[in-house]
Amino acid sequence: MQYSQAFPDARDEELLKIYVLKTTSTELVPDLMKNFKETYKSSDDITNNVIQFLEDNNDNSFNENIVKPEQNSNNNFFGYFDHIGKKYYPNDYGNTSPVANFGENVSRKDLDYLSAPKAWYLTRGNPSIKIGISDEPIGYNLPDLAGKVTFLTQSPPYTSPPNYSHGTIVAAMAAGRGDNTSGSVGVCMECNIVGSDIKVADNYTPTTSDIVYSNLYKMAIAGAKVINMSWWSVYYTNSPTGNAIEQRVINDLVNNFRVTLVGAAGNSSSFSTSQSYHSYGSSTTPITPFGIVYIYPASYDNVISVSSISWQNPIVLPLSNSSPSYWKTSKWFPVHINLEDSIAFNVNALNPLNPLGVERLGDFVSVTNPDDLRYNHTLNDKVDILAAGYNVYSYNNPPNNNANGTSLAAPQVSGTIGLMLSINDCLYPAEIESILKLTAKDVEFLTINSFYVGQNLVGAGKLEIGDAVTFTNEMKKVDGNAIIENHIYNRFNFNLSKINNKLTIQNVVFRENCSASFTARNIIEIAPNSDFVPNSSGSIELKLKSDLSLSCSPVVFQKRAQTLNTINLENNVSSIVLYPNPNKGVFTINLGIANTSFISCKIYDISGKLVYNSNSQTPIFNINLPNLSSGLYLVKLEGDNYNETVKFLKE
């Protein structure tokens, strides 16, 4: 078996008390809980808490095969500043770029839709800002990632990096290099990446959640200021709470390590019933559970949960079979896909403002479909923001170079945070989340999304990379004017305490369960058509503070827990008798064998520290250790063809 401290890097004292026991015995943990009630207060079985990725295998892509363009021969490749429109376009921005493209012949309308060029006019990132990609493997030697990825060990954990993998496309979306006349570009193109040393999944044996969550600490200590989590540790469930220990780890990382965490919300519908549901592939087996579903870590508090929004095709009513959004005609109605700002991916052209349909084998099961189920990624009240998750660019993924899934939407947000921190690295996680939501486009109240109004399922709306970075810049400037505009907020807690000059709120309503605390140095202006009407659960606080400070104290990673040695013990059937147990440190060990020539006896405390080491040549011998501290101890006994372990409790 293996016995070790679960989170040795934690600052939360309670997390330092948690240990992981890995054993093939089904009786050991219940026995410990029964016999040592004062030592072991609770236990969780994490056997099936394995990590899986959130890339959607549904192929809703329709791009032509990629044709690599010939590169210009003058070797004078630079990005382009549009000083009129205040945008920046790198030289590998794809075939939708308004200037020459020397990268792949792919569409990057996804980043146009999210206003990335507007952000790049202010910053394209900073190499000192590191984005943690907590899934792997990462193709660290590919042109858009080479020289950007550092790992927790001195060398990469694998010698043959993949050309395509889940970790590769997530890393490239968040921080793929731009202006290198190759591939395309990530959101924070000049930020660097901290890669994970553990093999989460992706053709490897899945890793249990204790290892993955402990690894988040190591990424934070390695300098990751934002960590992307495009995976799940708790599968689709109707529970809005998740695992208490994992939540505590999240809180510790955010509050004590000042790391912003971003999670992929999931790819399964939140509107299924036993009569109306999606199925697995070509089978009729429903994807369960039905109804509103959550996955974790995205749905934990203090994690920015990212779901998907459609972006590719303009809405031109009436929808015709010749429009670019047209897909096909089902048995009952024409189907259009990926309409700009539509939260649903599939739309019934006969009723585009109320899309419906259960998609199976490229068709729709029922024209009535009483639950109005549509194909879209996971939505719930834990979702914070929406980004492009349908048919988006997927680095080095031929032949179409595109993929689907909230795994691709989440790193767009992580990259945006990298850009924000490149402008102001003193932003705290709560401030970062507030800025993202306060600058999001309010899509819930658009006519095409009328189905979702009032359900609190789509977060603050669509990610606006350019507006989030502009707002961050205006917050910091001596003469800045940070503007919140054109939104209705029914919930969320907003906290901005470092507005250096002026905050303007125009055409915004904060109501119902919404709370906001805004502090500016000089001016807070409430423009027309704005209102503050929270209910008894909400609150509004507006303050001016002339001595406002923009500085922040650095996070110091001081080791608070001893690094433990993992004890590896053979799981044999034991004939040992140790008595009395519990004891005062004086006890007898009977090996239960006729004779032996040599036995090594080592005793370890609960932290894995060796506290006693001796040898015996008799099958019965006494131990006298009255000065041991109270607690649980493990006795390891080894000899020729003999390997046993027994535990005792020192009173």
Distance from CA of residue 252 to its chain's centroid? 15
Contacts of 476 (CB under 8 A, 6+ apart): 423, 424, 498, 500, 550
Give the orientation angle of helix 244-256 with respect to helix 209-221, to 10 degrees. 0
Residue 567's pLDDT band (cuts 50, 70, 90)? very low
For residue 346, count CB atoms less than 10 angstroms from its CB and return exposed for 0-12, middle for 13-18, buried for 19 or more.
buried
Torsion from C-alpha of 288, 248, 2, 36, nearest 10 degrees: -100
Residue range 2-43+569-650 forms a domain whose CATH class is mainly beta
- Domain layout of the chain by residue ranges: 2-43+569-650, 80-322+378-423, 477-568
User: What was the pLDDT predicted at 68?
Assistant: 29
User: What was the pLDDT predicted at 200?
Assistant: 61
Lowest mean pLDDT of 82-96, 116-130, 241-255, 606-620, name the range: 606-620
Mean pLDDT, rounded, for 165-179:
93
- Round the average pLDDT of the chain to a whole number and report it: 83
Report d(CA 226, CA 383) in Å as an integer.
18
Residue 619's pLDDT band (cuts 50, 70, 90)? confident
Q: Which CATH number fits domain 80-322+378-423: 3.30.1540.20, 3.40.50.200, 3.40.50.11540, 3.40.50.1110?
A: 3.40.50.200
Read off the pLDDT of residues 230-272 as tens digits, 9 standing for 90 and up.
Answer: 988 877 899 999 999 999 999 999 999 999 999 999 988 888 8
For residue 526, which phi and psi values (nearest 5 degrees)? -100, 105
Q: Structure tokens of 178? A: 């731009």
Asked whether the predicted pLDDT for residue 472 surpasses 80, the reply is: yes
User: What was the pLDDT predicted at 399?
Assistant: 62
Asked whether the predicted pLDDT for residue 565 surpasses 50, the reply is: no
Q: For the whole model, what pTM was predicted?
A: 0.81
Residue 71's pLDDT band (cuts 50, 70, 90)? very low
Residue 204's pLDDT band (cuts 50, 70, 90)? very low
Read off the pLDDT of residues 120-153 as tens digits, 9 standing for 90 and up.
Answer: 999 999 999 999 999 877 888 999 999 999 988 7
Residue 348's pLDDT band (cuts 50, 70, 90)? confident
- Write out the DSSP string of 312-331: SB---SSP-TTSTTEEEE-S
Q: Can you tell me which residue has the tokens 């109004």?
A: 453
For residue 172, which phi and psi values (nearest 5 degrees)? -70, -35
Asked whether the predicted pLDDT for residue 566 surpasses 50, the reply is: no
**Which of 195, 196, 175 lies closest to 184 in space, CA to CA?**
175
The answer to whether residues 374 and 344 touch, using CB atoms and an 8 Å cutoff, is: yes
Residue 365's pLDDT band (cuts 50, 70, 90)? low
Read off the pLDDT of residues 495-551 as tens digits, 9 standing for 90 and up.
Answer: 999 999 999 999 999 999 999 999 999 999 999 899 999 999 999 999 999 999 998
User: What was the pLDDT predicted at 362?
Assistant: 47
**Which of 456, 293, 459, 451 lies closest to 357 in space, CA to CA?**
451
Mean pLDDT, rounded, for 57-84:
47
Distance from CA of residue 113 to its chain's centroid? 22
Read off the pLDDT of residues 40-70 as tens digits, 9 standing for 90 and up.
Answer: 667 777 665 556 556 554 433 323 222 222 3
Residue 93's pLDDT band (cuts 50, 70, 90)? very high
Residue-wise burial string across 37-62, b where 16 or more C-beta atoms lie within 10 A, e elsewhere: eeeeeeeeebeebbbbbbbbeeebbe
Helix and strand element counts for the chain (H, E): 9, 37
